[in-house]
Amino acid sequence: MNSRFRVLLVPDSVYWVTGTIAKSVARFNPWIEATIASGPVIDAIFSERPELIHNFDLVHFICPYASRQWLPQFRDFIPCVTSHHHVSNWELLNHNLAGDAIVVGSPEWAEDLRTRSADMSRVFCVPYGVDADVFVPPNEAKRAAIRARLKIPASGTVIGFFGKNSSNDNDRKGIDVFIEAAINLNKRTDGLCVLIVGPGWKNLVESLRASGVRCFWRPFIIDENELAKMYHALDFYWVTARIEGGPVTLLEAMSSEVCCLTTPVGLAREIIRDGENALLVPLNDGIGFGDRTLALAGDTEKRARLGKNARATILETMRVGMTSQRVREVYAQAMRAARERLGKAGFELRDRDESASPAARITEISEAVPLHGFPAEIHSRVRMLEALAWSEHLILYHQQRAVAVKLILQQWVNNPFSLMPPRVILRRFMPGRIVQAIVKLKNGTQPKLKLPG
């Protein structure tokens, strides 16, 4: 008999950071029987198959927006875990206080919840962590190879910034500071290059290039191993943000032994020791980023020392295999709170299942996106919906039409009898009047796929 704990993990997309967090929770907690499905996908699947909502012992909303709709429904019968990554608009997030347990990524956001009168017995800090076996320092040959592939000069000073534009609400990532710092530094040094990774940064790239800064842009990288190679091209990684939950990219850069400069946000407040494992720069200080980078640009020995100390910090405190296992305590609290709230017995965190062989468990949890709570006959549909939702997100918020088309066509090939891929193409690429005519003709028989927030 399978005694593992059935958990539904809900990110904003399996293709982005919260999806990586969900996969890490599943991977490093083999006592969990995990299902990972984003908000848009559970909207579609539970509308089609409402009985499937009862296939879980607990739901963990890693996306704090998906819980707005689904938290009230799940709370009626199972424990619910919510997340508090950061705040740009509290009105869109305050529903997460109703979670039976609330996960934050750093003490900064636990303190934020305290000021908002949260029940602190339900608040747990689970740092995001990083896979230090994937994000590793390069040797010189690998560094040269990735720069050559990206057409970045071998001798240039390369500064990195990775993220997606749709996460930059109210310019919380300090893009204005990044631009100021890069332009200022470019005037004071030769060979400066900036590497931007992530969708939606067309205006940023154009602004830097118009100011004379050499800028290289990779809009979309889906594979984590390929993403890790991008850090190998860097001399410096900048975090100019004003508000962050992690940031995860800082952890990835540190794990890759990149010399990092960051504002005191999120986990940086806890793990950075200025001048020892990275550099701390005050908020809104573009000149400071330029000055401190310039001071290190010619000092390869000091940069190497900062990078090695950074990786040592990650290995000691931020390996995802360690941080992800903390959810066991979170889930135990959620079970206790739900038992009291619903007045029901039976909400207990079952012991680890040791019946399966270690090899079988490793195979099971290494699946990229586990879907144990959904019947096998709909797995391909779930994966198609994930890809289509992300493709629409890329079109609407990041102007990444070429990447989106590739994803849509791939799903059409994989699911030749589904009407969903052609519907997305019609909805997003054909003139509105033609789409309206087709929808009217078909009488709207298929619900629209909702998009990540």
DSSP codes joined into one string, 69-99: HHHHHHTTTS-EEEEE---S-GGGTGGGGGS
Residue percentage of the chain with pLDDT more than 70: 89
What is the pTM (predicted TM-score) of this model?
A: 0.88
For the segment 326-368, what is each residue's pLDDT rounded down to a tens digit? 999 999 999 999 999 998 766 677 654 444 444 334 334 445 7
Is pLDDT above 70 for 174?
yes
Give the CATH architecture of domain 140-318: 3-Layer(aba) Sandwich (3.40)
**H/E element holding 217?**
strand 214-218
Predicted confidence band at 183 (pLDDT cuts at 50, 70, 90)?
very high
Q: Which has the higher per-residue pLDDT, 258 or 16?
A: 258
| Nearest alpha-carbon partner for 238 in 204, 209, 210, 211 | 204
Residue 160 corresponds to which amino acid? G
Mean pLDDT of the chain: 89
Residue 174, both tokens? 């300090």
Class in CATH terms, 5-129+321-374:
alpha beta
| Residue pLDDT, tens place only, 29-86 | 999 999 999 999 999 999 999 999 999 999 999 999 999 999 999 999 999 999 999 9
**Other CB atoms closer than 10 Å to residue 433's CB: what's the count?**
8
Confidence of residue 443 (pLDDT cuts 50, 70, 90): very low
Backbone phi, psi, residue 193, to 5°: -135, 145
Per-residue pLDDT at 350: 61
Which helix (H) or strand (E) covers residue 270, if one does?
Answer: helix 268-271
Residue 144 pLDDT exceeds 80: yes
What do you get for the CA distance between the two ends of the chain, in Å?
A: 39
Local structure of residue 316 (DSSP, 8 states)? I
Q: Is the pLDDT confidence value at 2 over 60?
A: no
pLDDT level of residue 450 (50, 70, 90 thresholds) = very low
Query: What pLDDT shows up at residue 431?
Result: 63
Residue for token digits 């997100």?
A: 393
Q: Which residue has 């003709």 as its token pair?
A: 441
Q: What is the DSSP string of 184-197?
A: HHHHHSSSEEEEEE
Q: What is the mean pLDDT of residues 88-115?
A: 96
**Which of 5, 109, 112, 97 lies closest to 59 in space, CA to CA?**
5
CA pair distance 208, 171, nearest whole angstrom:
17
With a CB cutoff of 8 Å and minimum separation 6, the contacts of 288 are 181, 281, 282
Name the residue with tokens 């993220």.
163
Which pLDDT score, from 0 to 100, does residue 273 have?
97
For range 5-20, the mean pLDDT:
94
Q: Are 101 and 81 in contact (CB under 8 A)?
A: yes
Where in the chain are the domains?
5-129+321-374, 140-318, 384-442
CB atoms within 10 A of CB 42: 23
Q: Tens digits of per-residue pLDDT, 307-326? A: 999 999 999 999 999 999 99
Tokens found for residue 289: 């980023």
